[in-house]
Copies of this chain bind each other. A is one copy, B any other.
Amino acid sequence: MSQRNIAVPDQAADLDPGKMEACTVLEVINRVSGKWAIGILLEATRGPVRFTELERSVEGISRRMLTLTLRNLERDGLLKRTVYPTVPPKVEYEATPMAKELYGSLTGLVGWAERYREAITEARKTYDGHTAC
């Protein structure tokens, strides 16, 4: 394997709040339908959830991505974050009314995905079969 030496910038952007100023319809959709947002929003719409509960229920998410996604959703006014100053600390997240209006479309999407997951897997096999060989 050959390789090249290239220059890389020192700092990455990540999902750092402070970005995404434009806020087009496309950006809103991507924020809301992003890799982890759907799972979080679904949970937070059913009722208040704690950080650790989300970490368990949103399959495969890392602590870091959970934090980042939660912050972004909070920033966009989709989640309300409530801190209880107890020991140990307790933080609850709940969907705002605006976010709750998304519930129907989101469950529609998930339901569809569940119904057709098998069919899609098959379609891929067929496609790959008659193009590869």
Contact = CB atoms under 8 A, between A and B. Distances in A.
Interface of A: 1-10, 17-18, 23-26, 28-30, 32-33, 35, 38-39, 59-60, 74-78, 98, 101-102, 104-106, 108-110, 112-114, 116-117, 119-124, 126-128, 131
Number of copies: 2
24 contacts: A1-B9, A1-B10, A4-B8, A5-B5, A6-B6, A17-B131, A24-B117, A25-B110, A26-B35, A26-B59, A28-B120, A29-B38, A29-B109, A32-B113, A33-B33, A33-B38, A33-B109, A75-B123, A76-B123, A77-B127, A78-B120, A101-B112, A104-B108, A105-B109
Contact of A127 (B35, B75, B101, B131): B75
